Structure 1
Amino acid sequence: MTDSRVGKYVGFGEYDMRNAAHYNSQAWKMAESKRQVETLCRYDARLFRRSTLDRLVPPVVKEVRVSWLRDGAEVDADVSSTDTLADGDWSFQLHSYLELTPRRGERVSCRVDHSSLRTSLEVDWDTSSLDAKYLKMTVGIICFFLGFTAAAGGAAYYWWKQRFAFRPLGSQGHTSPRHPSELLIF
């Protein structure tokens, strides 16, 4: 294979390197190779540069359409999009934004229509973060009420214990039993 940067044939394996050495030793073969580089390769490179890289008129892209869907219905309000931006490698990008306050159970999708696609490409927005948010909130509310119930029960028990505190029998006007056999067991 000819490497136009070094102006000679190069090989990458043992067999290719022997062939490259053979071709490099033939003056007519080297002259033909240089002519091909000048007439074909450099001409094509200049033509490519003029038609693509040095082009001053931006390309017009008409084949891409981005739309937003909420529960299957197309949304026109609160949608903003950028112009088509060239990436420099024959690819382009377009940014589209939908401003919304998400609702639980709602299906939000971005639909792309392009000439290279057989059918529209729809990408659903992942609403699992909303479900996790509601799950966290529900668990928090349940824990709050459990804690509140435990605190209220503890306070009621403390109040009851203070109000009806255990007093020795002697302090309530009763006499204490003199012998253990006088205790009543229920």
Structure 2
Amino acid sequence: MTSGYVYQMIYDCEYGDDITDVVFFVKNLFNQKIITLYDSRVGKYVGFGESGMKNADHYNHQGWKMEERKRQVETLCRYNARLFRRSTLDRLVPPVIKVHPAKPIDYGKRSMLECSVVGFFPQEVRLTPRRGERVSCRVDHSSQRKSLEVDWDTSSLDAKHLKKTLGIMFFFIGFTAAAGGAAYYWWKQR
């Protein structure tokens, strides 16, 4: 669109932390510039620029419009705040917990595990893993009747040690075979 005009009316509810404090705005914009603003804290329209001030004065003298704006604080903002609170703030959803090492670790060495809980930021848990040791993350949450507990899965650590042990065994088998082959070759050459 190369030319033309755009008029917008925006209804806006802004809430405090506990969503009981509410401010209701009606913003009238012309070509993306605000010309009038209704603010429920002052209970009237404020105009910007010459035409905006004329419009604000006109709106403020319309009794039915001013009564409607006062009702809209309750019917739009407070009503939707109650729905919002029920659907989000008061909703009880069990957290998801994961326990994992912060970086690759090994048995017998000082390490750090991370306990991830959606919506929380737990403190660091430092430990020195030992074979057969059980490490878990426990979370108490209002959505649960009892604590949630998730164990750290050490199978990747066990697999790492299995690979290392097998590698060392095959090295010695190969070294023994090479040494035996060299001794046989040396004996045959004599």
**Same fold (TM > 0.5):** no
TM-score by length of 2: 0.41
Bigger radius of gyration:
1
TM-score by length of 1: 0.42
